[in-house]
Amino acid sequence: MHIGVPKEIKAHEYRVGLTPDSVRELMTRGHTVTVETGAGDGIGCDDEAYRNAGATIVDGAEAVFGGAEMIVKVKEPQATERKRLSAGQILFTYLHLAPDAEQTADLVASGASCVAYETITDAAGGLPLLAPMSEVAGRLAAQAAARGLERVVGGRGVLMGGVPGVSPARVVVIGGGVVGENAITMALGLGADVVVLDNNLTVLRRLAARFGPSLRTVYATTAATEAEVLAADAVIGAVLVAGAETPQLVSADQVAAMPRGAVLVDVAIDQGGCFETSRATTHAEPTYLVDGVVHYCVANMPGAVPRTSTYALNHATLPHVVALAEKGLAGALADDDHLANGLNVHAGRVTCAPVAARHGYEYITPDDALAG
C-alpha cells in the first residue's frame, strides 16, 4: 500500500503521523511511504532521517494526498486537507467528530473511509490509541494548572505545593480515568492537596488503593461536584464519553462563584469540553478569563511535547497501520472488531452511532457500510 504522511497544519501542532522507525517498519514489509518535507521537524527528525528509513520526500501536502491510498496523521484534518481527500482513500487519525458538524459533513462528502484513533477499542474495554495521549495530557494538565495559578496569567498567586507553613493548592480532578489518574500523579508529585471525583466506585477504589491517604476520593453527585469545585484553587476536567460530546459538569453560574484567580483546565475540550464556559484555545494563547477564573482549554495539549507524544502514539498506532496496509480496509476491519469500532465515516455514510445521533445522520454499522 502507498501511505502518505502530511505535515500537520493545525496551529502549534508539532507531532507527526509516523516516526522514521515506523516508516522503516512499513518499508521492510513492502509498502511505500511518502512524507511531506519538514513533517518531522517538530520531533527532531529531519527529511534525511525519513529518507534513510526509505521514505520519499515531497514538497507540499497536495503531492502526499494525491498519491496515497492511506493518509496517516495526528490531528483531525483541517478544511484545506479535507478538500484533498478522495473517494476510496483511507484516513487514519484523531477525528473527534461529535462536536464538529463541519468536519463531519466534509468527510461524508469526500467519500473517504475515516478511521478515528479515539474510538478504537480493546478487549478490556479501553481506548488504546487514546490512552497514550491521555497519559501525556493528564500530566500536562497538572503543569498547566500550576502555571495558571501564577499571578502573571491572572491566577491566585498560589504555589501548587505550598511551602512549610503555607498550605498547598487544592486541586480537584473530575474523572478518574487515564487522564485523571495521570493528572493526580503529577499534582500529588508537586505537593498539591488533591481530590478526585468520579461516579464509578470501582474507579475510586482503584485510585484509593494506588495513592493511599494522599488522595481524597469523592463520589460525584451534583451536590458533591459543586461543593468541591467552589472550594478549589484548580479544577482539571478529565471526563470522556467515547465518540460522544462531553457532558458539561460545571455551569457558568458555578464558575462565577469560584474564587477569583482559580483555574479550570479542560482536557475534554476536543470533545466539546466539560465546563460551560470552555472554548478551545491554542498553545499561542492558551488561557482566557471568565469572571476572573483562568481557563486553559488547549485542544491539542500533547502537541506541546511532540517528541514524547509522537513516539508514544506510534507505539499504539503502528500495529493498526500495518494491518490496514497489509489487509486493506475491509480485511483489517473484518479481522479485528476493535479496529472496526474506529470506522467513523465510510463512502458517504456515518458509521459511529454517537456522531450520527449528534449531527442528524442515518447510522449504519461498519459491517453494513463495508458490505454495501
Q: Which residues are tagged catalytic? A: 96, 270
**Alpha carbon distance 180, 239 (integer Å):** 8
CB neighbour list of residue 189: distance below 8 Å, 6 or more residues apart: 142
Output the DSSP codes for 259-323.
PTT-EEEEGGGGGT-SBTT---B-SSS-EEEETTEEEE-BTTGGGGSHHHHHHHHHHHHHHHHHH
**Alpha carbon distance 91, 198 (integer Å):** 34
Neighbours of 87 (CB within 10 A): 11
Query: Residue 216 is inside which H or E element, if any?
Result: strand 215-219
**Alpha carbon distance 257, 348 (integer Å):** 46
First to last CA, the chain: 23
Give one word for 53, left, alpha or beta, with left for phi > 0 and alpha for psi -120 to 50. Answer: alpha
* Torsions phi, psi for 107 (to 5 deg): -70, -40
Q: Which three cell numbers stand for residue 114?
A: 475515516
Among all chains, which residue has been given the C-alpha cell 480537584?
172
CA 199 to mean position of chain CA atoms: 22
Query: CB of 14 within 8 A of CB of 43?
Result: yes
**Alpha carbon distance 294, 258 (integer Å):** 11
Q: Which three cell numbers stand for residue 195?
A: 481530590
Alpha-carbon distance values, 133 to 155, 225, 300 (Å): 27, 26, 10
